[in-house]
């Protein structure tokens, strides 16, 4: 079990603008998300599970509440969304390569149902488009990351980005329109 | 895309979205102002926006969850000759897996750089550097490095797999005994000695990097910051070069700040003595339960590390052996030239200290045994147990025979193990529990919190349940409601164990319920439950004390005084009973009775050489004298209190705030006491003695001063203090303190003549006391009329009375 004091410290440093702290943080958060995901999906198949509950649970388990500030929680959600994005994209890359035949016989049935090759291609295209969007409108790209990969709703996204929900909503509309067109 | 253009697209797009289809076309024509490209872009986006369905509508988070949960999703199956079995941990420097080495047929730990980071050449270099340095060390207390490898783009090391717990995990269950702490330090020191001899400095000694195997063997892991270090002649450049000095990047602060040496924190060159410092911090933490330097931010911590002295170790530790403090002082000397020169010297001192402690423990046991027969000793202990059951001393009432049986077993075991050191954790636990209860009774919640936390850290034992229950009570008193509830749920979880061991009496059950009611601030039913306890066990002075305290909470002074009188009658040497009686009599306005009780309390505390208690009585007496206008007498008490050596930060804060309150009219003196109080509060914060620091004390002190200014009609100062109190309460999420501050804020509005605004504040304050109730404006107003210039507790106690008169029942 990674230490909550270590994570709290890393999170605080990252919140304070120390970018290198993120490097230490990501594997720890990922490990915990994995652990919780496994347990939840084993027990309840995750059907009724809310995104925020999962990330909140990870946060409560990983971060020393007495030392953390409320902004830390917002940053924690942001990290979780980034982790989810990377994991899904890595996964999609592997799935996509399966379609091309490489190592096709190694894939078990259950892992295929998680994401179809077509879905994987869509996801990879989205990831690319999102990276392009980031170059001229990083704010919108972050909103999409938090909402689509992080599973946050408008209000939660607003909390993480410290803006009004209406602002998130406006940017989300245009981001969606732009991405749809790019992927169309 | 040009950002200027994009912004125009955005403005038009959003505006168009808000319009009806009919208006949109004409709006865009006008707004685009003859820019066909802009118009096309916006129309394009609007079209795709309106396209039905998109996989983007459904967050992909759930799929991510499935991928995450897949056992084989992201983890390597094989790494050359190693087969990955499972992930066993992750740290700042990489993930760790348990793997099987197919060539040598053994289990190994594989440390892997996260894939995310393999494109960071600096990190790869640091990783390889770590492994290389560590692989040159061979010592039984060092986890051995077998191989440094690259497989594809996976950089990894394989190393000895150590089963067991990290020292951090061990410490999570509480601090260690002196002997345990020294044993562990000794093994770590030996590992370091061997590393230093190979020219390797660990540079990141911390509890996370120290593994304790089930057999007690210690292994130091993770030479995460190690750099090759050889003692070289600075004047001979060729030799320096030959020594392959590898430096970590300049300006890059590595390591865990709490364990970092001052020279490391400054970023200057370090030598092997940095490990001596870090081991000193670890030893300190094993003994005390917290690290010697604290700060709420990394920067604060570094400042404390560079400027402050460590918080002193507790008296019991200091008295255990004078050498202990010396050892810590020399290990934790900020000037590395004052520190031990080599780890070998540390080893010698630790070994000697251990020898001494074992010897004196053995002597102690032998002398006890030789003084009397085994039977006599058993009888003595049984007698103590009997007196406890009889309620003649502050102890948890236990059935006599049970106590005797347990003692008998313990004694037999102790006799069998005279060759081995036996630290009687039984006695320690019981003493901690008693000290905690005594502190609760004299209203010294901080001491109680420390004593009980300490007693609550050991494994299950017969007083564990009540210790945790008492701790819940104390946390609630200190406004740590989350912790109080946590303790209470722990109590609930161990009740079945105690019940099956036949060690959970009806009284215990009532007691737990009473504490639950108290934490829910349902003081009336808490008082009823405590009343049932004394009815079952009327000769138990502790039960009467608890009943008295529950009456005090609801301001039933007569009933409280009667309960304390019963406690005094049962146990005439129970100083805290007289202390509380004095307080209650003073609240009732019976100065004569209050003074008599205080005198007796003071006499008893003095006889018992209990400085904390004596100090508390003197403070209360000075407050009382001052209230009666007897300023000389008050000053005498203060002077006497000042002469008592008692270096307790909390009572310093409390005392100084009380004095600031007493002298608030003579503003110079008041200011001085106030600044003293703040200074001590700051010391507590720096020492990191409690998670939220001294904020509860601060808020209480500020609220009290604000109330005094209010009564003097000095609204400017009253407001200043109230706002500061409110700010601190909010910052630290202190619930009851915030309610108190809001209440005073309401009083402030009353003084200014804005009852409606006052009611708003009152309503919010009441929300904490009565979370489920929704009071009407009329009810609040009715209450408001009875509480002008009255303190918070009295006001709350008064709530409901006028309502009851109207036939409204107030429930919590």
Condensed to tens digits (0 to 9), the pLDDT of residues B598-613 reads: 999 999 999 988 888 8
| Residue B488 pLDDT > 80 | yes
Q: What span, in angstroms and rounded, lies between the C-alpha atoms of B555 and B542?
A: 20
Length of chain B: 812
On whether any CB of chain B is under 8 Å from the CB of A179, the answer is yes
Is the CB of B64 less than 8 angstroms away from the CB of A88? yes
> Across residues B401-419, what is the average pLDDT?
38
**Which of A6, A86, A181 lies at the smallest CB-CB distance from B116?**
A86
Residue B169 with chain A: CB contacts under 8 Å: 1
Out of A10, A24, A149, whose CB is closest to B60?
A: A149
Confidence of residue B778 (pLDDT cuts 50, 70, 90): confident
Nearest-Cα residue of chain A relative to residue B50: A177
Coil, strand, or helix at residue B107? strand
CB-based contact, A9 to chain B, within 8 Å: yes
Q: Are B453 and B689 in contact, with CB atoms under 8 Å apart?
A: no
- Comparing CB atoms, the residue among B55, B68, B117 nearest residue A23 is B117
User: Helix, strand or coil for residue B93?
Assistant: coil
Terminal C-alpha separation, chain A: 44
Q: Which of B49, B257, B692 sits opposite A177 (nearest CB)?
A: B49
Q: Does B98 touch chain A (CB under 8 A)?
A: no
Least confident piece of the model among A21-35, B257-271, B369-383, B742-756? B369-383
Average pLDDT over residues B55-66: 69
Confidence of residue B373 (pLDDT cuts 50, 70, 90): very low
Whether A49 sits inside 8 A of B65 (CB atoms) is: yes
Q: Do A67 and B89 touch (CB under 8 A)?
A: no
Residue A106 — pLDDT band, cuts 50, 70, 90?
very low
Partner residue opposite B68 with nearest CB, options A6, A24, A34: A34
Q: Do A115 and B67 touch (CB under 8 A)?
A: yes
Q: What is the DSSP letter of B90?
A: E
Q: Which residue of A has its CA nearest to B9?
A: A174
Which runs of consecutive H residues, i.e. helices, occur in B712-811?
715-731, 735-752, 755-769, 777-784, 792-798, 801-805
Tell me which of B615 and B682 has the higher pLDDT. Answer: B615
Best-predicted range by mean pLDDT (B35-44, B552-561, B621-630): B552-561
- The strand pairing partners of B95, in sequence order, are B90, B112
- Look up residue B770 and give its DSSP letter: S
- Mean pLDDT over B69-90 rounds to 64
A146 lies within 8 A of chain B by CB: no
Q: Out of A24-28, B514-518, B683-687, which region has the weakest mean confidence (pLDDT)?
A: B683-687
How far away is chain B from the Cα of A50, in angstroms, using its nearest Cα? Answer: 9
Q: What is the pLDDT of residue B520?
A: 85
pLDDT digits (tens, 9 = 90+) for B168-224: 888 877 778 888 899 899 999 999 988 888 777 888 898 988 988 877 789 998 765
Determine the pLDDT at residue B440. Answer: 92
Q: Which of A11-25, A38-52, B251-265, B702-716 has the lowest mean pLDDT?
A: A38-52
Which residues, in sequence order, are CB contacts of A128 under 8 Å at separation 6+?
Answer: none
Closest Cα of chain A to B794: distance in Å? 31
Catalytic site includes residue B648: no
Cα-only R_g, chain A: 17
pLDDT at B786 over 60: yes
When mean pLDDT is compared across A124-128, B101-105, B691-695, the lowest value belongs to B691-695
- Residues in A closer than 8 angstroms to B10, CB to CB, are 174
> B61, A149: Cβ pair inside 8 Å?
yes
CB B649 within 8 A of CB B684: yes
Quick one: CA dihedral B264, B267, B268, B270, positive or negative? positive
Task: Verify whether the Cβ–Cβ distance A34 to B69 is below 8 Å.
Answer: yes
pTM, to two decimals:
0.43
Contacts of residue B63 in chain A, CB cutoff 8 Å? Answer: 88, 114-115
Distance from CA of B3 to the nearest CA of A (A): 7
Residue B78 vs residue B303, higher pLDDT: B303
In the prediction, which pLDDT does B288 show? 85
The C-alpha angle with vertex B636 and arms to B634 and B639, in degrees rounded to 5, equals: 115
CB atoms within 10 A of CB A29: 25
If you write DSSP's letter for every residue of B112-172 in order, what string do you get? E--GGGTT-HHHHHHHHHHHHHHHT---TTBPPEEEEEEETTEEEEEEE---SEEHHHHHH
Q: Note whether B191 and B139 are within 8 A (CB).
A: yes
Q: Is the dihedral of CA B775, B779, B781, B782 positive or negative?
A: negative
Note whether B731 contacts A: Cβ–Cβ < 8 A.
Answer: no
- pLDDT confidence of residue B400: 34
Helix (H) or strand (E) holding B200: strand B200-201
What is the mean predicted confidence (pLDDT) over B81-86?
80
B348 Cβ partners below 8 Å, 6+ apart? none
* Comparison of pLDDT for B297 and B630, the residue scoring more: B630
Residue A111 above 50 pLDDT? no
pLDDT over threshold 70, residue B672:
yes
Q: How far is B69 from chain A (nearest CA, A)?
A: 4
Q: Which of B101, B204, B695, B759 is catalytic?
A: B204
Q: Has residue B228 got a pLDDT over 50?
A: no
Q: Which residues of B touch A23 (CB under 8 A)?
A: 92, 114, 116-117, 120, 123
Across the interface, do A149 and B298 touch by the CB < 8 Å criterion?
A: no
Q: Which residue has the higher pLDDT, B490 or B714?
A: B714
Residue A109 forms contact with B (CB below 8 Å)? no
Neighbouring CB atoms inside 10 A of B308's CB total 16
Q: Is A28 in contact with B91 (Cβ distance < 8 A)? A: yes
pLDDT exceeds cutoff 90 at B680 = no
- Which of B60, B293, B295, B695 would you mutate first to test chain A, the one with the most A CBs within 10 A? B60
The structure tokens listed for B216 are 């007690």
From CA B747, how far away is CA B168, in angstroms rounded? 48
Helix, strand, coil abundance in chain B, percent, nearest 5: 65, 5, 30
DSSP code of B51?
A: S
Question: pLDDT confidence of B110, banded at 50, 70, 90?
Answer: confident
What 3-state class would DSSP assign to B747? helix
Grouping H, G, I as helix, E, B as strand and the rest as coil, residue B83 is: strand
Rounded Cα distance between A103 and B180, Å, is 54
Residue B597: what pLDDT?
96
Q: Is the predicted pLDDT of residue A62 greater than 90, yes or no?
A: no
Q: Which helix (H) or strand (E) holds B219?
A: strand B218-220
């Amino acid at each position: 079990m990674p230490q909550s004091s270590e994570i709290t410290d890393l999170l605080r440093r990252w919140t304070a603008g120390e970018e290198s702290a993120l490097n230490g943080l990501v594997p720890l958060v990922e490990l915990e998300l994995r652990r919780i995901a496994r347990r939840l999906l084993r027990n309840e198949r995750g059907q009724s599970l809310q995104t925020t509950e999962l990330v909140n649970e990870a946060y409560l388990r990983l971060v020393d509440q007495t030392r953390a500030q409320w902004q830390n929680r917002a940053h924690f959600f942001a990290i979780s969304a980034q982790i989810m994005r990377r994991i899904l994209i890595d996964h999609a890359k592997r799935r996509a390569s399966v379609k091309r035949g490489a190592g096709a016989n190694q894939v078990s049935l259950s892992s295929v149902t998680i994401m179809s090759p077509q879905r994987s291609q869509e996801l990879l295209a989205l990831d690319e488009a999102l990276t392009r969007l980031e170059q001229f409108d990083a704010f919108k790209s972050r909103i999409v990351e938090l909402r689509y990969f992080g599973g946050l709703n408008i209000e939660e996204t607003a909390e993480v980005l410290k803006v009004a929900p209406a602002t998130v909503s406006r940017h989300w509309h245009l981001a969606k329109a732009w991405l749809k067109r790019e992927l169309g | 895309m040009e950002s200027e253009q994009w912004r125009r697209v955005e403005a038009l797009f959003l505006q168009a979205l808000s319009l009806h289809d009919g208006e949109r076309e004409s709006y865009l024509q006008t707004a685009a102002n003859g820019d066909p490209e802009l118009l096309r872009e916006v129309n394009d986006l609007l079209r795709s926006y309106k396209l039905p369905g998109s996989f983007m509508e459904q967050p992909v988070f759930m799929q991510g969850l499935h991928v995450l949960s897949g056992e084989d999703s992201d983890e390597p199956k094989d790494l050359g000759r190693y087969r990955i079995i499972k992930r066993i941990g992750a740290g700042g420097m990489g993930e760790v897996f348990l793997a099987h080495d197919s060539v040598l047929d053994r289990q190994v730990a594989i440390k892997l750089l996260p894939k995310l980071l393999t494109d960071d050449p600096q990190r790869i270099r640091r990783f390889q550097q770590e492994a290389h340095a560590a692989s040159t060390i061979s010592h039984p207390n060092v986890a051995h490095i077998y191989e440094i490898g690259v497989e594809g783009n996976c950089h990894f090391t394989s190393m000895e797999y150590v089963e067991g717990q990290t020292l951090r995990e061990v410490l999570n269950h509480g601090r260690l005994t002196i002997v345990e702490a020294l044993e562990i330090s000794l093994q770590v020191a030996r590992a370091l000695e061997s590393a230093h001899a190979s020219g390797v400095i660990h540079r990141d000694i911390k509890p996370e990097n120290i593994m304790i195997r089930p057999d007690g063997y210690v292994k130091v892991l993770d030479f995460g910051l190690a750099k090759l270090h050889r003692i070289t002649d600075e004047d001979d450049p060729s030799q320096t070069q030959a020594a392959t000095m590898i430096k970590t990047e300049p300006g890059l602060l590595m390591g865990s700040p709490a364990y970092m040496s001052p020279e490391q924190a400054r970023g200057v060159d370090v030598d092997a003595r940095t490990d001596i410092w870090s081991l000193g911090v670890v030893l300190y933490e094993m003994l005390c339960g917290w690290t010697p330097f604290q700060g709420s931010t990394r920067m604060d911590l570094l400042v404390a590390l560079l400027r402050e002295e460590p918080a002193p170790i507790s008296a019991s530790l200091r008295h255990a052996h004078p050498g202990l403090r010396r050892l810590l002082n020399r290990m934790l000397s900020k000037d590395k030239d004052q520190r031990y020169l080599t780890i070998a010297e540390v080893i010698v001192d630790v070994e000697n200290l251990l020898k001494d402690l074992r010897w004196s423990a053995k002597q102690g046991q032998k002398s006890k045994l030789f003084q009397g027969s085994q039977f006599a000793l058993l009888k003595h202990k049984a007698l103590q147990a009997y007196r406890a059951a009889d309620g003649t001393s502050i102890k948890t009432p236990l059935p006599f025979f049970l106590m005797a049986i347990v003692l008998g077993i313990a004694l037999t075991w102790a006799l069998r193990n005279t060759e081995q050191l036996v630290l009687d954790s039984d006695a320690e636990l019981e003493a901690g529990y008693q000290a905690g209860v005594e502190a609760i009774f004299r209203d010294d919640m901080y001491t109680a919190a420390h004593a009980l936390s300490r007693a609550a850290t050991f494994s299950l034992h017969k007083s564990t349940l009540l210790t945790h229950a008492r701790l819940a009570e104390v946390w609630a008193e200190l406004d740590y409601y989350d912790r109080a509830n946590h303790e209470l749920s722990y109590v609930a979880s161990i009740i079945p164990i105690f019940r099956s061991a036949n060690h959970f009496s009806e009284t215990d059950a009532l007691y737990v319920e009473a504490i639950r009611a108290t934490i829910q601030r349902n003081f009336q039913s808490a008082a009823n439950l405590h009343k049932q306890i004394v009815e079952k066990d009327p000769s138990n002075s502790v039960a009467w004390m608890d009943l008295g305290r529950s009456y005090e909470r609801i301001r039933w002074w007569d009933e409280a005084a009667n309960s304390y009188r019963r406690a005094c009658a049962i146990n005439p040497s129970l100083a805290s009973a007289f202390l509380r009686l004095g307080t209650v009599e003073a609240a009732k306005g019976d100065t004569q009775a209050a003074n008599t009780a205080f005198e007796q309390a003071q006499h008893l505390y003095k006889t018992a050489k209990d400085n904390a208690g004596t100090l508390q009585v003197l403070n209360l007496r000075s407050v009382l004298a001052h209230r009666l206008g007897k300023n000389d007498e008050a000053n005498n008490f203060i002077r006497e209190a000042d002469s008592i050596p008692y270096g307790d930060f909390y009572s310093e804060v409390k005392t100084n705030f009380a004095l600031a309150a007493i002298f608030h009219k003579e503003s110079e003196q008041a200011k001085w006491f106030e600044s003293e109080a703040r200074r001590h509060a700051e010391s507590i914060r720096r020492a990191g003695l409690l998670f939220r620091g001294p904020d509860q004390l601060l808020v209480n002190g500020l609220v009290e001063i604000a109330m005094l200014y209010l009564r003097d009609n000095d609204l400017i100062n009253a407001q200043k203090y109230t706002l500061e109190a409110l700010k601190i309460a909010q910052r630290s999420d202190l619930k009851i303190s915030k309610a108190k501050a809001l209440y005073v804020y309401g009083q402030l509005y009353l003084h200014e003549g804005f009852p409606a605004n006052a009611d708003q504040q009152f309503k919010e304050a009441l929300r904490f006391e009565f979370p489920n109730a929704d009071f009407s404006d009329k009810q609040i107003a009715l209450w408001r009329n009875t509480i002008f210039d009255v303190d918070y507790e009295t006001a709350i106690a008064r709530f409901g009375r006028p309502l009851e008169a109207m036939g409204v029942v107030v429930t919590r």
